[in-house]
């Protein structure tokens, strides 16, 4: 890098990152780390095969062999929740990655070029914004059939405007800073300035927005699976588990739906709170 | 005069957006793999003559743009074509279901506006413990998907307390109100929490303004300050975001109707997707998206009418 002053508005020197997240933010980060570890090592942690039937012991009460009991076909609930964390977390992750990888270049480019490029991009975002995510996903599923891929692409597109708008607004402010002019005078190309200087300075904000988006996207994707249009049973997935446990609720066995539902709420809470904390941390006072 | 120009502008935008939406909805299903003829014939091999007859009947043999314009023209006359599965007019099939969805969304909207604003005001004006409690509750509320709220409500209010029925939409106004209370509450939960949060921050922001200090200094009684100086200004962001949240309920109803086995547009949309009944999917998707866009535009226009600054500057949101 050069010796130019590269401090953007979004970067602040100071206390450690953990200190500025506050105890609640740190707790959320820990919860997310634990969930991620569980998802990665799921097959090693799960005490039973998540799909092993035991038709003689449906709706078993919690016991040492089945710490959370069993479902209507005698499958171990704990194992299904553990293995279910994989699609439940991987799906939203892919959606957010897709959104970010499309939205960020589009936003920075249109903020950099301004004029007609920016206007066209903004109209495009407005149209996407006007299409509710869940509906877009259902339409995509009507086209390509039920399953995760269609839902992920559709939700990725539907959440693109949220990330793009925040990034564009920040990029518009950032490009007016003196260090960008300095880089231009030194003969750096627009692409170099965007890629090597604007993007790193905007990264904290993008990460914060992506973290919040993860939470919202997870709700949408779980809803699609709940409707029977996303992850297909008998695969263990939290959204699917809420749906397939629903008939048993009226028979007095709400455990499966409740546990899966509570896990979804905890995960979404952790992501949205952490995302808000990250955004607060990167917000310079007085702006 | 200026207001008329403002409204005309918004209306033109609305028509343009609706056209794009209708094109997306129609085009998406047009390019979908798998021919609709297979759905009609159930995949049986048929003589070419029969297939040609079906093509002519449903208009499958015409070019895309012609079919789109034809479809759009029919839609504007309230004709959404024929259901492939039921061989019945889509409009007839939808007419019996639209009431449930409209009732559900209106009910949920009412709950959101009522409880969202009350909780938010309570949180901002009381401070202290009430504020902390409401803040914590709304954080969890925002993160709770409607279908999770649904199963919790069914287990508590149907199974344990026997207060509300878990399925069905009911007949007649009172019965319907009773049947749709839980679905509307499940649908409204996240939005209520969100509007409460927003009301809280908007009110807090206004409370810290200099004009409020000035009013206090002039000796204006506190209730009047809250009503005239704080609420009036805070209402601007509350109307906008509250309106957008209500618009979001239209898509959210799809999930809630399935959770409570309600016979509305949303549950029919999911069934039609599973059955590949494309004319029905197109019709419901278009109706829901159009309702969403229309509500958004109304909110946008209201925002301009409440806050004259938007009309002058064209709105810098």
The phi and psi torsions of B82 (rounded to 5 degrees) equal -110, 140
- Rounded to 10°, the helix B64-76/B278-306 angle is 60
d(Cα B174, Cα A222) in Å, to the nearest integer?
Answer: 33
Q: Is A177 exposed, middle or buried (0-12, 13-18, 19+ CB in 10 A)?
A: middle
Residues in chain A closer than 8 A to B278 (CB atoms): 142
DSSP state of B172: S
What's the pLDDT band for B30 if we cut at 50, 70, 90? confident
Residues in chain A closer than 8 A to B20 (CB atoms): 127
Q: Which residue of B has its CA nearest to A135?
A: B251
Task: Give chain A's end-to-end CA distance (angstroms, integer).
Answer: 28
State the average pLDDT over residues A126-135.
Answer: 84
Classified as helix, coil or strand, B89 is strand
Task: Tell me whether B25 touches chain A (CB under 8 Å).
Answer: yes
**Number of neighbours of residue B122 by Cβ within 10 angstroms:** 18
Cβ of A242 within 8 Å of Cβ of B25? The answer is no
In SS3 terms, chain A reads as CCCCCCCCCCCCCCCCHHHHHHHHHHHHHHHHHHHHHHHHCHHHHCCCCCCCCCCCCCCCCCCCCCCCCECCCCCEHHHHHHHHHHHHHHHHHHHHHHHHHHHHHHHHHHHHHCHHHHHHHHHHHHHHHCCCHHHHHHHHHHHHCCCHHHHHHHHHHHHHHHHHHHHHHHHHHHCCCHHHHHHHHCCCCHHHHHHHHHHHHHHHHHHHHHHHHHHHHHHHHHHHHHCCCCCCCCCCCHHHHHHHCHHHHCCCCCHHHHHHHHHHHHHHHHHHHHHHHHHHHHCCCCC
**Number of neighbours of residue B5 by Cβ within 10 angstroms:** 10
Task: Tell me whether B265 touches chain A (CB under 8 Å).
Answer: no
- Could you read off the pLDDT of B171-220 as tens digits, one per residue? 777 878 888 889 999 999 999 999 999 999 999 988 888 888 888 888 88
Residues in chain B closer than 8 A to A215 (CB atoms): 143
Higher pLDDT, A88 or A70: A88
Facing residue for A132 by CB, picked from B25, B154, B251: B251
The CA distance from A275 to the nearest CA of chain B, in Å, is 13
What's the pLDDT band for A267 if we cut at 50, 70, 90? very high
Residues in chain B closer than 8 A to A245 (CB atoms): 151
State the average pLDDT over residues B12-30.
Answer: 85
Residue A147 has pLDDT above 70, yes or no: yes
The residue among B20, B25, B101, B148 with the most chain A CBs within 10 A of its CB, best to mutate, is: B148
The CA distance from A172 to the nearest CA of chain B, in Å, is 14
Facing residue for A257 by CB, picked from B24, B151, B269: B151
Task: Tell me whether B285 touches chain A (CB under 8 Å).
Answer: yes
Task: Tell me whether B10 touches chain A (CB under 8 Å).
Answer: no
The CA distance from A144 to the nearest CA of chain B, in Å, is 7
CA atoms within 13 A on the CB side of B300: 19
Question: Average pLDDT over chain A, rounded to whole?
Answer: 84
Classified as helix, coil or strand, B82 is strand
Q: Among all chains, which residue has been given the structure tokens 């005078």?
A: A185
Cβ of B140 within 8 Å of Cβ of A265? The answer is yes
Q: What is the ipTM of this complex?
A: 0.83
Residue A223 has pLDDT above 90, yes or no: yes
Report yes or no: A118 and A169 within 8 Å, Cβ to Cβ. no
What's the pLDDT band for A47 if we cut at 50, 70, 90? confident
Report yes or no: A248 and A256 within 8 Å, Cβ to Cβ. yes
Residue B312 has pLDDT above 80, yes or no: no
Sign of the Cα torsion B297, B302, B303, B309 reads positive
Q: Which residues 6+ apart lie within 8 Å of B139 measured at CB?
A: A269, A272, A273, B193
Interface of chain A against chain B, CB under 8 Å?
126-127, 130-135, 138-144, 146, 215, 219, 222-223, 226-229, 242-243, 245-246, 249-250, 252, 254, 257-258, 261-262, 264-265, 268-269, 272-273
d(Cα B278, Cα B272) in Å, to the nearest integer?
Answer: 7
State the average pLDDT over residues A36-63.
Answer: 82
Distances (CA, A) of A184 to A61, A178, A179, A187, A194: 69, 10, 9, 5, 11
Tokens of A226: 């709940």
Question: Average pLDDT over chain B, rounded to whole?
Answer: 84
Report yes or no: B118 and A209 within 8 Å, Cβ to Cβ. no
Facing residue for A227 by CB, picked from B24, B270, B278: B270
Which of A91-105, B18-32, B161-175 has maximum average pLDDT? A91-105
The residue among B36, B143, B260, B267 with the most chain A CBs within 10 A of its CB, best to mutate, is: B143
The residue among A32, A35, A138, A217 with the most chain B CBs within 10 A of its CB, best to mutate, is: A138
Q: Which residue of A has its CA nearest to B149?
A: A261
Task: Tell me whether B254 touches chain A (CB under 8 Å).
Answer: yes
d(Cα B50, Cα B46) in Å, to the nearest integer?
Answer: 6
Q: Which residues 6+ apart lie within 8 Å of A157 measured at CB?
A: A98, A99, A102, A128, A136
Q: Based on C-alpha coordinates, what's the Rg of chain A?
A: 22
Facing residue for A258 by CB, picked from B146, B151, B281: B151
CA atoms within 13 A on the CB side of B94: 24
Cβ of A139 within 8 Å of Cβ of B29? The answer is yes
Task: Tell me whether B85 touches chain A (CB under 8 Å).
Answer: no
Task: Tell me whether B258 touches chain A (CB under 8 Å).
Answer: yes
Q: What is the pLDDT of residue A15?
A: 45
Report yes or no: B294 and B138 within 8 Å, Cβ to Cβ. no
pTM of the model: 0.85
Facing residue for B139 by CB, picked from A138, A227, A273: A273
Could you tell me how many helices (H) and strands (E) chain B has, helices first? 14, 0
Residue A11 has pLDDT above 50, yes or no: no
State the average pLDDT over residues B89-109.
Answer: 89
Residues in chain A closer than 8 A to B29 (CB atoms): 139, 142-143
Higher pLDDT, A20 or A274: A274
d(Cα A224, Cα A264) in Å, to the nearest integer?
Answer: 14
Report yes or no: A233 and A240 within 8 Å, Cβ to Cβ. yes
């Amino acid at each position: 890098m050069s010796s130019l002053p590269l401090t953007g508005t979004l970067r602040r020197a100071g206390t450690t990152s953990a200190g500025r997240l506050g105890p609640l933010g740190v707790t959320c980060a820990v919860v997310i780390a634990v969930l991620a570890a569980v998802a990665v090592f799921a097959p090693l942690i799960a005490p039973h095969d998540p799909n092993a039937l035991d038709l003689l012991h449906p709706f078993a009460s919690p016991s040492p062999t089945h710490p959370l009991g069993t479902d209507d076909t005698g499958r171990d609930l704990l194992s299904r929740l553990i293995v279910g964390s994989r699609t439940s977390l991987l799906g939203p992750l892919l959606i957010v990655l897709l959104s970010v990888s499309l939205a960020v270049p589009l936003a920075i480019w249109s903020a950099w070029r301004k004029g007609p490029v920016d206007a066209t991009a903004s109209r495009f975002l407005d149209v996407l914004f006007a299409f509710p995510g869940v509906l877009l996903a259902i339409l995509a599923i009507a086209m390509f059939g039920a399953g995760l891929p269609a839902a992920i692409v559709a939700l990725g597109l539907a959440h693109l405007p949220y990330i793009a708008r925040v990034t564009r607004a920040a990029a518009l402010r950032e490009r007016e800073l003196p260090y960008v002019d300095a880089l231009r005078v030194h003969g750096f190309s627009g692409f170099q300035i965007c890629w090597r200087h604007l993007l790193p300075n905007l990264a904290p904000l993008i990460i914060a927005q992506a973290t919040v988006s993860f939470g919202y996207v997870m709700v949408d994707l779980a809803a699609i699976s709940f409707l029977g249009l996303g992850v297909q049973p008998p695969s263990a997935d939290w959204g699917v588990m809420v749906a397939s446990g629903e008939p048993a609720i009226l028979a007095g066995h709400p455990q499966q739906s409740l546990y899966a539902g509570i896990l979804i709420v905890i995960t979404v809470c952790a992501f949205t709170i952490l995302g808000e904390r990250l955004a607060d941390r990167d917000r310079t006072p007085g702006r | 005069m200026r207001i008329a120009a403002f409204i005309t502008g918004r209306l033109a935008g609305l028509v343009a957006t609706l056209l794009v939406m209708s094109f997306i909805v129609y085009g998406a299903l047009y390019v979908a793999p798998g021919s609709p003829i297979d759905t009609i014939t159930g995949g049986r091999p048929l003589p070419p003559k029969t297939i040609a007859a079906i093509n002519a009947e449903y208009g499958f043999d015409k070019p895309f743009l012609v079919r789109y314009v034809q479809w759009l023209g029919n839609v504007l006359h309230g004709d959404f074509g024929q259901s492939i599965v039921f061989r019945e007019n889509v409009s007839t099939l939808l007419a019996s279901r639209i009431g449930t969805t409209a009732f559900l969304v209106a009910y949920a909207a009412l709950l959101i506006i009522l409880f969202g604003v009350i909780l938010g005001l309570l949180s901002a004006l009381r401070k202290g413990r009430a504020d902390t409690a409401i803040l914590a509750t709304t954080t969890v509320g925002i993160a709770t998907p409607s279908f999770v709220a649904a199963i919790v409500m069914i287990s508590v209010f149907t199974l344990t307390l026997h207060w509300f029925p878990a399925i069905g939409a009911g007949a007649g106004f009172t019965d319907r109100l009773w049947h749709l209370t839980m679905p509307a509450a499940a649908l409204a939960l996240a939005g209520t929490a969100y509007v409460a949060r927003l009301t809280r921050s908007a009110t807090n922001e206004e409370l810290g303004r200099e004009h409020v200090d000035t009013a206090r200094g002039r000796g204006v009684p506190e209730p009047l300050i809250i009503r005239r100086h704080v609420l009036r200004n805070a209402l601007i962001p509350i109307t906008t975001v509250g309106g957008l949240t209500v618009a979001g309920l239209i898509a959210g109803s799809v999930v809630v109707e399935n959770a409570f086995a309600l016979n509305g547009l949303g549950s029919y949309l999911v069934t039609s997707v599973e059955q590949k009944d494309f004319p029905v999917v197109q019709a419901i998707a278009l109706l829901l998206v159009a309702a969403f866009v229309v509500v958004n535009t109304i909110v946008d226009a209201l925002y301009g009418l409440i806050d004259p600054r938007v009309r002058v500057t064209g709105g810098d949101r």
